[in-house]
A and B are shown apart, each in its own frame.
Chain A
Amino acid sequence: MSPLSTRLGTAGLLAAGLFAGLPTPAHAEIYAACTGFIDSLPSVITEQGNWCLRKDLSTAITTGRAIHIDANNVTLDCNGFKVGGLAAGPGSTAEGIYAANQFNATVRNCTVRGFENGIYLHGGGHLVEDNRIESNLYTGVQMYGDGNLVRRNRILDTGGATGGTASNGFYGHADLIDNTIAGIFTAAPDGNAIGMYLSGDNLEISGNRIRGLVSDEPTGIIVAGAGVTLRGNNLSTVALVPVGTGIGGSGAATACVRNTVAGFNTAYSSCEGSAGNLAP
Chain B
Amino acid sequence: MRFLPALLLLSVLYCALAAPARAETIATCTGTIDQLPATIDTQGTWCLDHDVSTAITGGGAITIATNNVTIDCNGFKVGGLAAGETSQAIGILAVDQHNVTIRNCGVRGFHRGIALGGGGHLVQGNRLDQNLSIGIAMFGDGHHVQDNRVFDTGGAPAAPSSYGITGSADMIGNTVDGVFATATDATVYGIVTFESGSEVRGNRVRNLAPQGAGQAYGLFAGADYVTLRGNTLSLVVETAGKGIHSTGADTFCTDNVAIRFDVAYSFCTHGFSNVSL
Contacts and interface: CB of A to CB of B under 8 A. Distances in A.
B230 to A, nearest CB: 6
A4 interface: no
A11 B257 contact: no
Give the bracket for the number of chain B residues in contact with chain A: 35 or more
B177 A25 contact: no
Contacts of A80: 20-21
A202 B23 contact: no
Given A48-B51, A255-B275, A25 B20 contact: yes
Contact of A33 (B26, B177, B234): B26
A15 B257 contact: no
Interface string A21-44: 010011111111101000000000
Which one of A17, A22, A204 has the greatest number of beta carbons of chain B within 10 Å? A204
Given A175-B204, A258-B273, A49 B50 contact: yes
B202 A202 contact: no
B42 interface: no
B24 interface: yes
Give the bracket for the number of chain A residues in contact with chain B: 35 or more
Contacts of A81: 20
Nearest to A24: B18
Given A149-B175, A275-B274, A255 B20 contact: no
A240 interface: no
Contact of A22 (B15, B232, B274): B15
Contacts of B8: 15
Nearest to A14: B7
B14 A255 contact: no
Given A19-B15, A147-B149, A255 B277 contact: yes
Contacts of A206: 202, 230, 232
Nearest to B149: A149
B55 interface: no
Contacts of B7: 11, 14-15, 18
Interface stretch (A135-143, A213-221, A224-232): A224-232
5 contacts: A26-B20, A104-B127, A202-B259, A257-B257, A257-B273
Interface pairs A-B: 5 shortest CB-CB? A80-B20, A29-B21, A32-B26, A15-B10, A30-B24
Interface of B: 3, 6-8, 10-11, 13-15, 18-28, 47, 49-51, 74-77, 106, 127, 129, 149, 151, 173, 175, 177, 202, 204, 206-207, 230, 232, 234-236, 255, 257, 259-260, 273-277
Given A33-B49, A255-B259, A258-B255, 13 more contacts: A15-B10, A25-B21, A30-B23, A31-B21, A33-B25, A33-B26, A79-B19, A80-B20, A175-B175, A177-B173, A227-B260, A232-B230, A257-B275
